[in-house]
Amino acid sequence: MAKGLLALALALQALTPVPKFDSGRAWEHLRQLVAIGPRPSGSPAIEQTRKYIKEQLAANGLTAVEQAWDDQTPIDKVHMVNLVATIPGVRKERIVIAGHYDTKLYRQFRFVGASDGGSSAAFLLELAHVLKGRKNPLTIELLFLDGEEARLPEWGGTDNTYGSRHYVDVAKRDGSLASLKALLLIDMIGDRDLDIRRDTNSTPWLTNVIWETARRQNLDDYFIADSTRIEDDHLPFLAAGIPSVDIIDLDYEAWHTPKDNIDAVSARSLQVVGDVVLGALPHIEAHLSKTLILTGRRIVSRRPYKVLKANAIVPSRKRFRQPMFKTKHFRQSNVTPLTELGH
């Protein structure tokens, strides 16, 4: 695709008003999902959940492609299905926005996962509505992940992130990993007392863009400056060299309890995350597009990092023939101003 077209798409996108994230619609999706009840992987209820997601995507003119497989868990073999909806952009290189739609299996109580499993799926459905009506410079893929939750009571080993691991394995095998330029992972964003911490496993420049956008929108009471380290569906993507950020509120009293129900979550929290993600998207696109334009087809920051000394991170490949001006993408500073990220 001609570079001029991409530049035009970026300019058009800056001029065209983007439909706003409507937390009223997202809230209705959340209500419907919670009303299905517990939705663990392999259950009839998760099949019903898929039907709901597919119907809602179809209502926005999007086809959900099923990625189905059977996975062996420590307790049983489970049929799992990721759902993928693609919103074409000017370029085929894509940003994946993902979240899980399964809920954790509990036999001793009724777990409906309003924030944990419900909020991410509801959020992606509203995002489908917004992004379908936008001129997207890069392709956007909405990825509804199955099997995020551990099948055993405790999270450990490979008994978790079944869907993201499967997706990355397939993408490696079919060659589609090459056009995957960034992952935004959305998880547990419904907490009515929303406070999202920076995840130190996530890619610094992506985290910076998200938190800087929140600060500019005066939403830094929700996207707080604290850090924590999260294991979640972004790890398989990071391991494959994809810049990734996990947007998750784990400071949630109701986490993995029967209290994670509709009373614990709020539409306002969905709105905050919707505003920040949509506000950050043009910056992420500009950052990626700039790198695509500068390097042809390659995104320089995809190579695995090797830490040389404190605050200096460079790609591990020995033969490094990028022009000097790109080295700033490898340096890790505290918060890179948006101006340095191509604005």
Residues that bind ligand 1BN (CB under 6 A): 116, 149, 155, 187-188, 230-232, 250
Q: Which two tokens stand for residue 238?
A: 């990071």
Cβ at position 246, least distance to ligand 1BN in Å: 9
Question: Which CB atom, from 46 or from 230, has the smaller least distance to ligand 1BN?
Answer: 230
Partner from Zn ion, ligand 1BN, none contacting 194, C-beta within 5 to 8 A by type = none
Residue with tokens 């509801």: 122
Partner from Zn ion, ligand 1BN, none contacting 187, C-beta within 5 to 8 A by type = ligand 1BN
Cβ at position 116, least distance to Zn ion in Å: 4
Cβ at position 229, least distance to ligand 1BN in Å: 9
Interatomic CA distance for residues 200 and 175, integer angstroms? 28
Question: Which CB atom, from 91 or from 234, has the smaller least distance to ligand 1BN?
Answer: 234
Partner from Zn ion, ligand 1BN, none contacting 141, C-beta within 5 to 8 A by type = none
- Which whole-number Å values give the CA distances from 327 to 76, 151, 265, 339, in the listed order? 48, 43, 42, 16
Asked if 233 and 185 count as a contact pair (C-beta separation under 8 A), the reply is yes
Asked if 282 and 13 count as a contact pair (C-beta separation under 8 A), the reply is yes
Question: Which CB atom, from 103 or from 289, has the smaller least distance to Zn ion?
Answer: 103
249 binds Zn ion (CB under 5 A): no
| Cβ neighbours of residue 295 closer than 8 Å, sequence gap 6 or more | 322, 326
Residue at shortest CB range from ligand 1BN: 155
Question: Which CB atom, from 22 or from 159, has the smaller least distance to ligand 1BN?
Answer: 159
Cβ at position 100, least distance to Zn ion in Å: 8
Cβ at position 146, least distance to Zn ion in Å: 13
Question: Which CB atom, from 96 or from 247, has the smaller least distance to ligand 1BN?
Answer: 247
Instruction: Tell me the angle at which helices 3-15 and 267-295 cross, rounded to the nearest 10 degrees.
Output: 150
Question: Which CB atom, from 116 or from 246, has the smaller least distance to Zn ion?
Answer: 116
Beta strands in the chain (DSSP E): 64-72, 77-87, 91-100, 138-145, 180-187, 196-199, 223-228, 244-248, 305-309, 312-315
Question: Which CB atom, from 66 or from 231, has the smaller least distance to ligand 1BN?
Answer: 231
Burial 150-166 (b: 16+ CB within 10 A, else e): bbeeeeeeebbbbbbbb
* Contact stretch for Zn ion (CB under 5 A) within 115-123, 237-245, 260-268, 307-315: 115-123
Closest to 160 (Cα-Cα) out of 41, 244, 268, 7: 41
Interatomic CA distance for residues 10 and 342, integer angstroms? 12
116 binds Zn ion (CB under 5 A): yes
Partner from ligand 1BN, Zn ion, none contacting 224, C-beta within 5 to 8 A by type = none
One DSSP character per residue, 90-124 reads: SEEEEEEEEEE------SSS----IIIIIIHHHHH
Question: Which CB atom, from 149 or from 285, has the smaller least distance to ligand 1BN?
Answer: 149
Partner from Zn ion, ligand 1BN, none contacting 260, C-beta within 5 to 8 A by type = none
Asked if 9 and 134 count as a contact pair (C-beta separation under 8 A), the reply is no
Interatomic CA distance for residues 255 and 247, integer angstroms? 16
212 binds Zn ion (CB under 5 A): no
The footprint of Zn ion (CB under 5 A) covers 104, 116
